[in-house]
Chains A and B, each alone.
Chain A
Amino acid sequence: MAGFIPFALVLGAQATQKGLSAVEVPLMTGLNFGGGSEFSAVDLWTSPPHVLLIVAVTFLINSRHLLMGAALTPYLQHLTKRKVFAALFLMCDESWALGLADARKRKQAPQLSLPYYFSVAFGLYLTWVVFTALGAMLGPKLGDIEAYGFGIAFPAVFLVLLRGMWPGWRAARPWLVSLLVAALTFLLVPGAWYVAAGALSGLVAAYILSENA
């Protein structure tokens, strides 16, 4: 849980530098609650924002939830639909992993324990929203932090996030394709097309490379 705090502060502070208000930041982190997508959204935020670009990137980054939700399904059979839909709103990488591990430990009846899951997930949720809001309140007081080298804070967060998902060199080849294509597109094509071009070419590469896996 404490691991969320530095990410949250950096996100909140950077969001206000990009033109989001101190109210809009907790609105985003409270309604969306998906760190990776929020970092990308803030990175791409302009005023006015490219609505479709940001929404599409959000969907792609959070597409991993599809798999996570599917993996959790066998342990949700004992719950009403309403409880499942409430529980899934709070599903993030950490709450999913902890909830799933706890469910598997219950040998006689392997199922998700709602009290356990909600206490973990809600704690993470509150930490995220409160500390992104705090970052947003502190952000404007820091002035133009870009000039002092703070611009690197964002790529630093992304690199740490990527390290956390590192699948090994072989499985990371699509990432390299994405990086190359996105960088070239950024240099050659004006606008924010580099995100779509990089992401899509990476997915195509993953599809082609998995043929001989």
Chain B
Amino acid sequence: MDAHTLNVLNVLTIVLMALVTYLTRVLGFVSLRGRTLSPRMMTVLQAAPGCVLISVIAPDFVSNRPADLLALAVTLLAASRLPLLPTVILGVLTSGVLRHVMP
């Protein structure tokens, strides 16, 4: 694929993403000015980003390749105590080796 093309649907998606994101940035200021949310709504809003992120990667947790599942377990452990770069490197190395030795 040509690296410098613009695809109509890709650009449309990007523009819509940008619009809803900007909306979230200004809406808090515009609508919540001088008001307070109930603690319950705060709890729900605070949980939202994590719920979405973990849902997006949920398929990785039920992979049918044992090598990938094992690599994910190692990566999960790494992510709980290491910064990003070592976590990614360790995960990729583990996954590469495991895929090689357990096809």
Name A residues whose Cβ lies closer than 8 Å to a Cβ of B.
Answer: 3, 6-7, 10, 16, 19-24, 27-28, 31-34, 36-37, 39-41, 43-44, 47-49, 51, 54-55, 57-73, 76, 84-85, 88-89, 91, 137, 140, 147-163, 165, 167, 171-172, 174-175, 177-179, 181-183, 186-187, 194-195, 197-199, 202-203, 206-207, 210-211, 213
Contacts and interface: CB of A to CB of B under 8 A. Distances in A.
A172 to B, nearest CB: 7
B56 A91 contact: no
A137 B46 CA distance: 35
A64 B58 contact: no
A7 B43 CA distance: 28
Contacts, number: 306
Interface string B43-67: 1111111111111111111100000
Given A21-B1, A32-B14, A64-B49, A155 B57 contact: yes
25 contacts: A19-B7, A36-B49, A48-B7, A51-B13, A55-B20, A60-B52, A65-B21, A65-B24, A66-B32, A68-B28, A70-B29, A148-B96, A149-B93, A149-B97, A151-B68, A162-B53, A171-B43, A178-B54, A178-B55, A179-B55, A183-B62, A186-B58, A186-B59, A198-B52, A210-B40
Contacts of A21: 1-7, 10
Nearest to B80: A163
B25 A91 contact: yes
Q: Is the interface of A mostly helix, strand, loop or mixed?
A: helix
